[in-house]
Amino acid sequence: MQLYNYFRSSASFRVRIALAIKGLSYDYIPVHLVKGEHKDPEYTQRIGDALVPTLVTDGGTALSQSMAIIEYLDETHPTPALLPATPLARARVRALAQTVACDIHPINNLRVLKYLARDLKVDEEAKSAWYHYWVRSGLEVFERQLTLLAQERAAQGLTASVLCWGDTPTLADCCLVPQIFNAQRFKVSLDGLPLTMGVFDACMALPAFSGAQPSACPDNEA
């Protein structure tokens, strides 16, 4: 397999985590978003949305959108599973994952921030305020979801989850960790989010997460 991705892209980071959890090898192909390499015709002809990541399967099919890629990997390489066994549990995990992937990330990614500055002439202070507000408020929602899940587990006599759902990584953890990395990079306050940050710390103690982080990528510019 080949993964076209950018080291700082949180969507790419999600897929790198999933590949690592599954123990799958792949060719790492960097696509520099800031330099506009995702707009190169040689890249765009492979995938309709001209974004990252793109996963090219062993059979040569190009797949886009990180959530679809991760679920494809989970279906084609089911062990270890990134989604729980029951429909209700899968819905809970997907809800957590989509809080990040559908609510927080889309309005704070690079192209949105560039549009705010370039087309709407928003100054740096206002752009930063936009980012901080939406990321922080979204993570507060995530924290409330984890709190409700913890209360449910306690009511059922179950032990507290170490990660988003239980003690093994799921789709939700794959989404949360990159978002926290971006929040830290842009100096968003993460105080008052004990469950969320507890999950983050537990994830980062696992090789699949620490090995997929931006600083470990071959195109890392730090």
120-164 per-position pLDDT tens digit: 999 999 999 999 999 999 999 999 999 999 999 999 998 999 999
What pLDDT does residue 196 have? 98
- Report domain extents, the chain: 2-80, 87-210
74-102 per-position pLDDT tens digit: 999 999 999 999 999 999 999 999 999 99
What pLDDT does residue 37 have? 85
∠ CA 135-139-142, nearest 5°, is 145
Strand 27-30 with 2-5, pairing: parallel
Q: Does domain 2-80 have CATH number 3.40.30.10?
A: yes
Q: Does the pLDDT value for residue 222 go beyond 70?
A: no
CATH topology identical between 2-80 and 87-210? no
6-58 per-position pLDDT tens digit: 999 999 999 999 999 999 999 999 999 888 888 888 788 777 677 899 999 99
- Please state, as a whole number, how many other Cβ atoms lie within 10 Å of the Cβ of residue 166: 16
CATH class of residue range 87-210: mainly alpha
**Cα Rg, the chain, nearest whole Å:** 17
Q: Is the dihedral of CA 117, 122, 123, 125 positive or negative?
A: negative
Give the residue-averaged pLDDT of 192-196.
98
Give the residue-averaged pLDDT of 197-205.
98
Residue 131 burial (10 A CB sphere; 0-12, 13-18, 19+):
buried
- Is 0.75 topped by the overall pTM? yes
Query: What does the block give as tokens for 221?
Result: 């510019």
